Structure 1
Amino acid sequence: MMFVLRRMLALAGVLVVSSFLVFAAMYAAPGSPENFLVQGRTVSPDVLAAIRQQYSLDDPFFVRFWNWLVQVLQGNFGQSLANRQDVGSLLADRLPTTLTLVLMAALFITFFGIGLGVIAGTRDGFVDKLVILGSSLGFAIPTFFAALILMSIFSVSLGWFPVFGSGTGVFDRIWHLTLPAIALALPSTAVVARITRTAIREERDSEHAVMARARGVPGSLVLRRHVIRNSMLPVSTIVGVHIAGLIAGSFVVEYAFTLDGIGTLLVNAVQKKDFAVVQAIAIIMVAAFGVINLLVDLLYASIDPRVREVRTR
């Protein structure tokens, strides 16, 4: 319990520091929000001064950051400069698409990445070489290019999946997001499969596995309790890192398939210096990294009790 509490406090500190860094980067970038608001029109200095006063742009940097942080703690992410809408409402409309996309990609990475790695690690010959070749190709193909290939084959040529949009309803959304999720998960699936294969082979040839087989323990039992279980420690770390990075990489797939997720919202917000939107999405990304890393640590403790004993001291 104390370990979880310490990690939650550390996550809160990381959120504050990361939001400060993002706010500082946006503040130092060329251009200004009021220039976007006037849309290139020539306005008087009084109008510019009124705009800056309305959006508190004349306040010192640390004052603006502190005011924003206090509002976030109260559940208020501010108002978008570009859309004149509440940032919370904008995120609520777009988060379901991104979360569904990331969840589907995470399932692909977990099941196909680990599954193919286990198959290649426990089998020699053609199957092993096929998985190695497939993982090399999957890792080498950029996400955007993979999206275009999948779209061309399965949407345009075969017509199995829709080309654009995120769909409405549960099943329609899953149907629309299948190809984007595959494109997003492809490089990570290849990496996880290769690392899982290596970990399985190392554990398969380890001393304790060889001794267990020599004592007459059935091979299937050795595989489950010794080989696969022990190899999941490094694999779970890699899976967690890649799943945490899906949100940051989803904007490429969202742009290719014209999805209404937070990735495209982030790109537009950065271009327009929409501070409130950028800050909110940055907080979401950092929180996702922190939560997934916490889950990976808890998974470590369930896989290897020795990890739990060390962290409770």
Structure 2
Amino acid sequence: MWSVVPPPAAAQVRDAFGVEVGELRPHPGGFEADAFTDGRWFVKLWRQQPDSDAALALTAELAARGIPVPAAQRTLDGSYTSAHLGRRYALFPFVDGRQATWDDADAIAGAMRAVHGIAGLLLPRTDMDEWCVEVLRDRRDHPWIADRRDEVMANVDRLEAVIERARAIDVPHVVCHHDLFPHNVLVDRDGRVVALLDWGGTRLAPREHDVFTGLCGPDPVRFLNAYGTPRLDLTHLEYARLARSLHDLAARIDNQVDQHGINTWGFDLLRRVDADLELARPFCDR
């Protein structure tokens, strides 16, 4: 289990980033990190592996291209993270906004389409190697999933087969965030997107590897209509939709956290995969 930790002291932040911060108070974080803010600056303190310097540097490049992304601050030694209590943290300007919900699906889809329209970024390409496969095979007898082991293994087998099919299908690669769910989007009081967060998983990948997020919401058809895409590839959608639910299952088992999420983010969404893909089929070429 992850323990609660205090924020870095103002003197630590000043010595690391050359920035004066006020009293850092807890702020809603996420599965991977704790967060703090003084209302002007935002500290993200990773629980395990931090985003790479390349991923954090990308935030400034995206902001320069007009994408609403808070740009990570560089430290005085030229990197992007500093140490605190054995963990790494980064510093961003604070953006005032509320966390989006699926009611903001149209705005999220539009922001996603804008990201996919960016050209000329030098990024790694996706390889579709899935760490969750090994974790779930090795830990199929974990007490949180042992009673549904056959269901888990059937989905793991399906993912491996889908990856093989997807790798044989040549589709355009675009800038993909890979986690553009409402929890990574801030909107203002009028529902306009003011910040897209957490770019650690960004790759050049088929657009379906982002668009699948809309299939996880309550109204996939609304999301796909708002995205306004030309025809999608159903196999890449299947890959991304299935992989995400297995990721969410494996991460909770591997880190021994959020047992409740085993159902809400894992099994509940796994059991929706085929129904969601049927809703997406009219938007796909194959």
The alignment's TM-score, normalised by the length of structure 2, stands at 0.25
> Greater share of helix residues, 1 or 2?
1
- TM-score normalised by the chain length of structure 1: 0.23
Structure number, greater radius of gyration:
1
Higher strand share goes to which structure?
A: 2
